[in-house]
């Protein structure tokens, strides 16, 4: 029997985790699918709603906490892992999620990402990777392909992309996973497994930006992508059914 | 009068009573001058004197031996009267090598005591210091000063020749010879140093034995050598009864934070990145985990401040510290705490800048940075301690105000206060003002930005409180509800509300204490570590019959409510600062008074002599 003073999580439904705020992502954004999957996963964690905190930085993905009916803190660009570390030190009893993106987490906040993983701080990091800066209207990101043509790289990016999982492993991450916005069952499973990991769980979620980087993770060539990916960071591709699968090359 | 413990004396020499003395130990940065000075300070505190210290060292850890830039020094003034500063001119200079002599001789009073370690005055060291000939052979040196040439290195080796230590290890103990000798000259008790040696070198009996013997040899040398005709006694100062200890500004900041954690019963999370001269606060707090404090050595300055903010969001007191360059990096984070309306304490141990500047040298040039150094309208509370011991009370007050008003508080200490020390009366914790923190748990009528009518503070809710789940962030929000808002009128209202919240802190400021007449010819206004120098200068001017008063601001934002009235009670206003005129600019803008600045930006504390000169000049011009 569980001790009488232990907090018992009430039975929740997805609805309990939906906040009263209007969701303000672009129609068709991959973020909707991720938000829905996270809200759906929450009841399965067995954690009281009031003990859950979502922390984010800046970017499209970082609006996430406003839409979760939990405690949330939308902070400044790149610093969510550091804010979350401070919160974790103050409050070991909370369940903490960091929501970040490829720019927020790997560019301006790359240093914090390195150290949160190295320290193995007990929290979950959801890195939405759409290979573009969306909120600033379409500049290339640290995961954009070599040669990527964007507003800031009119003749193509000269920078090689970083592979988020290789980066995480290099930092000594104790849990890494990659999933895709369009494969909900797989994403549900990854979220659950990440949430039960003790230490830092790093989950990269491949995600489409239908406004500034449509078909971000398809291997088909589009006008904005002259070179195919060469770094090996792209392990998702579209199967014959039109659904993205992992590692099918 | 108090007892001064002295070792038994064999030969009785004439002992002269002094009110005060200013001593400086100077040598190579590897000569242990800081340690020597610290021990002499402890001995003087034991002797019951009031005192003030000024450590001064290069940023290099082991600067090349014998060079001018590698000189490290420690100065202190001790006395039987109130001591406000480490002193301007030296009564006694101990120079362990030619470079030290060259750098520091100009500060020694004519007729002052000059003690040199002769063996260090060899060709190599003379060359490095840029001396063409040995200055000790110059007859003018002995004419101007009471020069004592002592072969400290040789006498040190002689005292410990039978100990199984190598030459280098033996050499290293010579600072204890200097300490023993000067302790004899000024009748300081050796006991605290003997106890310290025993504790410090408990694991190395030979080193402990060597240091003890060399210390005693230095002391005995003073007593028996015929060269010292007299020595001095400085009677204990009249001080309020109680338990005292020597206190540096950085330790006092740490203890103030600890006291606040104990009194509020809220844990402190201290985020910091190593930086001179702030690191000692981290070191001190890291030792006191059992007093509700957790320290994070963050990956950078930004992580240090944001981790503190994350902790505050979690219901702890977030504290971070740095020096000017690091504070610049924290600017965006401080802005987040302003708009998220979370408590945050930021300690800035100011140093000479801009950029890296002179990391180990003091300055007061970050006032404007504290007041305005963030994007947009981001007002914060700014406090400044006046003395090393005052750092305790200012840190405590910073936590109290941050939690009560839900806002960031910046504390402006400086390198001089941080490393300088003074005797500090250990306060009774019950006499400190209470820090009452009530986290909101009531669901009924809860909104994240619902304000307390007196302080305008929003409720502080710990995550984990059922029914009060809410989101905050850096985006502008609607007052009361905390929902994202881009409404123009709401933004204007929020800008004014955040400013008003800071202004309301003025209701916490006690009446300004005026040192001198309530009305007169001149008011000297200071802030921060210049307190001692200003007070000493003003008291001398008063003794000369001048109509001068001084006030020292500990609250720089908001300013004391009675300040405008006080400024108008004097014909002239002088503002001495170690910057090119920052507070003076604020006072002129705020109160439309014709205040004038006295500004020197040398990386050194202001000397009371030069402030006195400025006072006389200003008064002379109107007489």
User: Would you list the domain boundaries of chain A?
Assistant: 24-214
Burial profile A20-46: b = 16 or more Cβ within 10 angstroms, e = fewer: eeeeebeeebbbebbbebbbbbbbebe
Q: Which residue has the tokens 């290789």?
A: A166
Q: In this predicted structure, which of A80-89, B1-10, B53-62, B214-223 has the lowest mean pLDDT?
A: B1-10
- For residues B437 and B401, give the distance between their C-alpha atoms in angstroms, rounded to a whole number: 11
Element (H, E) at B590: helix B583-591
- 3-state SS, A63-89, equals HHHHHECCEEEECCCCCHHHHHHHHHH
- For residues B301 and B225, give the distance between their C-alpha atoms in angstroms, rounded to a whole number: 55
Burial of B415 (0-12, 13-18, 19+ CB in 10 A): buried
* Of residues B93, B429, B132, the one with CA closest to residue B259: B429
Q: What is the pLDDT of residues A214-233, one digit of tens each?
A: 999 985 334 344 333 334 33
Nearest-by-Cβ selection for B308 from A74, A75, A86: A86
Q: Has domain A24-214 been given CATH number 3.40.50.970?
A: yes
Strand B317-322 vs strand B381-383: parallel, antiparallel, or unpaired? unpaired
Question: Which tokens belong to B348?
Answer: 């800035």
Q: Could you tell me where the beta strands, DSSP code E, fall in B395-533?
A: 408-414, 421-425, 471-473, 520-527
- B269 contacts in A (CB within 8 Å)? 86, 89-90
Phi and psi at residue A68, to the nearest 5°: -105, 130
Flag whether pLDDT at A238 surpasses 60.
no
Question: Which tokens belong to B420?
Answer: 């300088």
**Residue of chain B minimizing CA distance to A115:** B299
Using pLDDT thresholds of 50, 70 and 90, give the confidence band for residue B13: low
Q: Do B466 and A48 touch (CB under 8 A)?
A: yes
Q: In this predicted structure, which of A4-8, B213-217, B272-276, B572-576 has the lowest mean pLDDT?
A: A4-8
For the segment A5-14, the average pLDDT, to the nearest whole number, is 75
Q: What is the pLDDT of residues B99-126, one digit of tens each?
A: 999 999 999 999 999 999 999 999 999 9
Using pLDDT thresholds of 50, 70 and 90, give the confidence band for residue B29: confident
Task: Please give the DSSP secondary-structure letter assigned to residue B219.
Answer: H
Q: Which residue has the higher pLDDT, A235 or B362?
A: B362
- A115 contacts in B (CB within 8 Å)? 298-299, 303
- B318 contacts in A (CB within 8 Å)? 86, 90
- For residues B450 and A69, give the distance between their C-alpha atoms in angstroms, rounded to a whole number: 19
Q: Are B339 and B476 in contact (CB under 8 A)?
A: yes
- For residues B237 and B50, give the distance between their C-alpha atoms in angstroms, rounded to a whole number: 6
- For residues A185 and A191, give the distance between their C-alpha atoms in angstroms, rounded to a whole number: 10
Q: Do A74 and B310 touch (CB under 8 A)?
A: no
Flag whether pLDDT at A32 surpasses 50.
yes
Nearest-by-Cβ selection for A51 from B333, B464, B483: B464
For the segment A18-36, the average pLDDT, to the nearest whole number, is 93
Flag whether pLDDT at B356 surpasses 90.
yes
Nearest-by-Cβ selection for A87 from B299, B314, B332: B314
For the segment A177-190, the average pLDDT, to the nearest whole number, is 95
Tell me the domains of chain B and their CATH numbers.
14-234 (3.40.920.10), 245-431 (3.40.50.970), 520-620 (3.40.50.920)
Question: Under DSSP, is residue B449 helix (H, G, I), strand (E, B) or coil?
Answer: strand
Q: How many CB atoms lie within 10 A of CB A156?
A: 17
Phi and psi at residue B200, to the nearest 5°: -65, -40
Q: Which residue has the tokens 């040199």?
A: B116
Tell me, what's the pLDDT at A233? 39
Report how many Cβ contacts below 8 Å link chain A to chain B: 130
Angle at B589 between CA B366 and CA B583, to 5 degrees: 30
Tell me, what's the pLDDT at A230? 38
Flag whether pLDDT at B183 surpasses 80.
yes
Tell me, what's the pLDDT at A225? 40
Flag whether pLDDT at B226 surpasses 90.
no
Task: Please give the DSSP secondary-structure letter assigned to residue B11.
Answer: S
Percent of chain B with pLDDT over 70: 97
What's the Cα-to-Cα distance from A149 to each of A138, A141, A228, B379, B591, rounded to whole Å? 10, 11, 12, 42, 57
**Residue of chain B minimizing CA distance to A56:** B473
Q: What is the pLDDT of residues B423-446, one digit of tens each?
A: 999 999 889 999 999 999 999 999
Flag whether pLDDT at A9 surpasses 70.
no
For the segment A127-147, the average pLDDT, to the nearest whole number, is 96
- CB hemisphere CA count around A91 (13 angstroms): 27
Q: Which residue has the tokens 């109160």?
A: B591
Indicate the pTM of the whole model: 0.91
Q: Do B318 and A86 touch (CB under 8 A)?
A: yes
Flag whether pLDDT at A54 surpasses 60.
yes
Q: Are B253 and B413 in contact (CB under 8 A)?
A: yes
Tell me, what's the pLDDT at A236? 37
Flag whether pLDDT at A88 surpasses 60.
yes
- Torsion sign across C-alpha atoms B283, B289, B291, B294: positive
Tell me, what's the pLDDT at A72? 98
Q: Kindly calculate the radius of gyration of chain A based on its CA atoms and give it in whole angstroms.
A: 18
Q: Cβ contacts of residue A53 below 8 Å, gap of 6+?
A: A70, A71, A72, A73, A87, A94, A95, A96, A97, B463
Question: Which tokens belong to B54?
Answer: 């000024």
- For residues B284 and A90, give the distance between their C-alpha atoms in angstroms, rounded to a whole number: 19
Nearest-by-Cβ selection for B469 from A71, A82, A90: A71
Flag whether pLDDT at B568 surpasses 50.
yes
Using pLDDT thresholds of 50, 70 and 90, give the confidence band for residue B532: very high
To the nearest whole number, what is the mean pLDDT of chain B? 95
For the segment B539-558, the average pLDDT, to the nearest whole number, is 97
Q: What is the pLDDT of residues B283-308, one digit of tens each?
A: 999 999 999 999 999 999 999 999 99
Q: Do A90 and B475 touch (CB under 8 A)?
A: no
Percent of chain A with pLDDT over 90: 81
Q: Do B474 and A69 touch (CB under 8 A)?
A: no
Tell me, what's the pLDDT at B5? 40
Question: Which tokens belong to B224?
Answer: 């028996």
Q: Do B303 and A111 touch (CB under 8 A)?
A: yes
Tell me, what's the pLDDT at A6? 55
* Of residues B350, B359, B352, B354, the one with CA closest to residue B385: B350
Nearest-by-Cβ selection for B473 from A50, A74, A90: A74
Tell me, what's the pLDDT at A240? 41
Q: Are B364 and B530 in contact (CB under 8 A)?
A: yes
Question: Which tokens belong to B352?
Answer: 């000479």
Question: Under DSSP, is residue B542 helix (H, G, I), strand (E, B) or coil?
Answer: helix
**Residue of chain A minimizing CA distance to B271:** A86
Q: What is the pLDDT of residues B475-511, one digit of tens each?
A: 999 999 999 999 999 999 999 999 999 999 999 999 9
Tell me, what's the pLDDT at B230? 81
- For residues B442 and B446, give the distance between their C-alpha atoms in angstroms, rounded to a whole number: 7
- A21 contacts in B (CB within 8 Å)? 471, 483-484
Longest dimension (CA), chain A: 65
For the segment B337-356, the average pLDDT, to the nearest whole number, is 98
- A65 contacts in B (CB within 8 Å)? 471, 473
Q: Do B310 and A93 touch (CB under 8 A)?
A: no
Question: Under DSSP, is residue B21 helix (H, G, I), strand (E, B) or coil?
Answer: strand
Question: Which tokens belong to A102?
Answer: 């490829």
Flag whether pLDDT at B1 surpasses 60.
no
For the segment B396-408, the average pLDDT, to the nearest whole number, is 98
* Of residues B321, B298, B475, the one with CA closest to residue A82: B298
Strand A244-246 vs strand A236-238: parallel, antiparallel, or unpaired? antiparallel
Distance from CA of A206 to the nearest CA of B (A): 26
Q: How many CB atoms lie within 10 A of CB A247?
A: 8
**Residue of chain A minimizing CA distance to B270:** A86
* Of residues B114, B49, B118, B390, the one with CA closest to residue B250: B390
- B303 contacts in A (CB within 8 Å)? 79, 82, 85, 111-112, 115
- Torsion sign across C-alpha atoms B57, B63, B66, B68: negative
- A91 contacts in B (CB within 8 Å)? 314-316, 462-464
Using pLDDT thresholds of 50, 70 and 90, give the confidence band for residue B60: confident
Strand B20-28 vs strand B50-56: parallel, antiparallel, or unpaired? unpaired
Tell me, what's the pLDDT at A218? 82
Most confident of A4-13, B7-16, B19-28: B19-28
- B309 contacts in A (CB within 8 Å)? 75, 83, 86
Cα A46 to its chain centre, rounded Å, is 22
């Amino acid at each position: 029997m569980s001790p009488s003073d232990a907090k018992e999580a009430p039975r929740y439904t997805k609805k309990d985790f939906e906040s009263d705020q209007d969701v303000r992502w672009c129609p068709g954004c991959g973020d909707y699918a991720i938000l829905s999957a996270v809200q759906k996963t929450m009841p399965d964690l067995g954690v009281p709603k009031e003990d859950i905190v979502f922390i984010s930085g800046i970017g499209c993905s970082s609006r996430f906490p406003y839409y979760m009916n939990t405690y949330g803190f939308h902070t400044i660009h790149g610093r969510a892992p550091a804010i979350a570390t401070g919160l974790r030190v103050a409050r070991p009893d909370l369940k903490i999620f960091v929501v970040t993106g490829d720019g927020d987490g790997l560019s301006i906040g790359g240093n914090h990402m390195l150290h949160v993983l190295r320290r193995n701080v007990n929290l979950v990091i959801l890195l939405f990777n759409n290979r573009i800066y969306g909120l600033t209207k379409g500049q290339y990101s640290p995961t954009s392909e070599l040669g990527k043509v964007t507003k800031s790289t009119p003749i193509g990016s000269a920078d090689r992309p970083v592979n988020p999982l290789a980066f995480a492993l290099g930092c000594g991450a104790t849990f890494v996973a990659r999933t895709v916005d369009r494969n909900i069952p797989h994403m549900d499973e990854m979220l659950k497994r990440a949430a039960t990991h003790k230490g830092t769980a790093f989950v990269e979620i491949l995600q489409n930006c239908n406004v500034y980087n449509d078909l971000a993770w398809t291997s088909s060539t589009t006008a904005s992508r002259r070179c195919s990916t060469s770094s090996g960071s792209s392990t998702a591709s579209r199967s014959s059914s039109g659904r993205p699968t992992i590692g099918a090359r | 009068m108090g007892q001064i413990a002295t070792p038994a004396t064999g030969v009785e020499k004439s002992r002269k009573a002094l009110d005060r003395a200013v001593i400086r130990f100077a040598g190579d940065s590897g000569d242990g001058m800081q340690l020597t000075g610290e021990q002499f300070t402890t001995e003087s505190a034991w002797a019951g004197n009031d005192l003030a210290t000024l450590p001064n060292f290069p940023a290099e850890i082991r600067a090349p031996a014998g060079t001018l830039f590698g000189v490290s020094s420690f100065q202190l003034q001790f006395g039987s009267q109130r001591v406000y500063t480490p002193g301007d001119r030296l009564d006694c200079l101990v120079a362990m090598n030619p470079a030290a002599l060259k750098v520091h001789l100009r500060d020694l009073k004519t007729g002052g005591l000059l003690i040199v370690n002769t063996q260090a005055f060899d060709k190599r060291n003379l060359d490095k210091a840029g001396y063409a000939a040995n200055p000790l052979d110059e007859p003018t040196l002995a004419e101007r000063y009471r020069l004592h040439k002592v072969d400290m290195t040789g006498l040190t080796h002689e005292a410990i020749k039978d100990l199984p230590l190598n030459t280098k290890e033996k050499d290293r103990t010579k600072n204890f010879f200097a300490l023993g000798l000067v302790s004899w000259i000024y009748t300081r008790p050796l006991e605290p140093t003997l106890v310290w040696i025993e504790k410090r070198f408990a694991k190395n009996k030979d080193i402990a034995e060597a240091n003890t013997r060399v210390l005693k040899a230095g002391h005995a040398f003073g007593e028996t050598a015929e060269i010292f005709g007299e020595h001095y006694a400085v009677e204990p100062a009249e001080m309020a009864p109680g338990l005292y200890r020597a206190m540096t500004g950085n330790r006092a900041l740490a203890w103030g934070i600890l006291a606040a954690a104990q009194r509020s019963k809220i844990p402190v999370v201290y985020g910091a990145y190593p930086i001179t001269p702030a690191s000692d606060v981290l070191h001190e707090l890291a030792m006191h985990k059992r007093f509700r404090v957790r320290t994070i050595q963050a990956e950078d300055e930004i992580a240090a401040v944001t981790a503190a903010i994350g902790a505050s969001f979690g219901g702890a007191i977030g504290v971070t510290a740095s020096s000017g360059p690091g504070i610049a990096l924290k600017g965006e984070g401080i802005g987040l705490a302003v708009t998220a309306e979370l408590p945050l304490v930021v300690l800035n141990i100011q140093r000479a800048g801009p950029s890296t500047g002179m990391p180990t040298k003091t300055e007061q040039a970050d006032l404007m940075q504290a007041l305005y150094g963030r994007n947009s309208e981001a007002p914060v509370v700014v406090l400044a301690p006046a003395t090393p011991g005052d750092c305790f009370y200012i840190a405590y007050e910073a936590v109290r105000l941050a939690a009560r008003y839900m806002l960031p508080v910046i504390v402006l200490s400086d390198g001089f206060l941080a490393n300088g020390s003074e005797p500090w009366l250990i306060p009774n914790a019950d006499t400190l003002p209470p820090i009452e923190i009530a986290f909101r748990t009531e669901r009924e009528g809860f909104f994240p930005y619902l304000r307390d009518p007196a302080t305008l503070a929003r409720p502080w809710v710990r995550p984990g409180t059922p029914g009060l789940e809410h989101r905050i962030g850096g985006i502008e929000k609607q007052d009361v509800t905390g929902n994202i808002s881009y409404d123009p009128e709401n933004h204007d209202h929020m800008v004014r509300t955040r400013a008003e919240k800071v202004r309301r802190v003025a209701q916490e400021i006690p009446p300004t204490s005026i040192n001198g007449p309530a009305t007169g010819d001149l008011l000297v206004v200071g802030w921060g570590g210049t307190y001692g120098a200003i007070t000493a200068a003003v008291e001398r001017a008063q003794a000369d019959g001048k109509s001068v008063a001084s006030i020292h601001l500990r609250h720089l934002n908001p300013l004391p409510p009675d300040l405008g009235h006080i400024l108008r009670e004097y014909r002239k206003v002088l503002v001495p600062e170690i910057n090119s005129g920052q507070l003076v600019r604020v006072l002129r803008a705020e109160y439309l008074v014709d205040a004038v600045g006295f500004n020197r930006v040398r990386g050194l504390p202001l000397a009371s002599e030069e402030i006195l000169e400025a006072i006389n000049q200003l008064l002379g011009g109107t007489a």
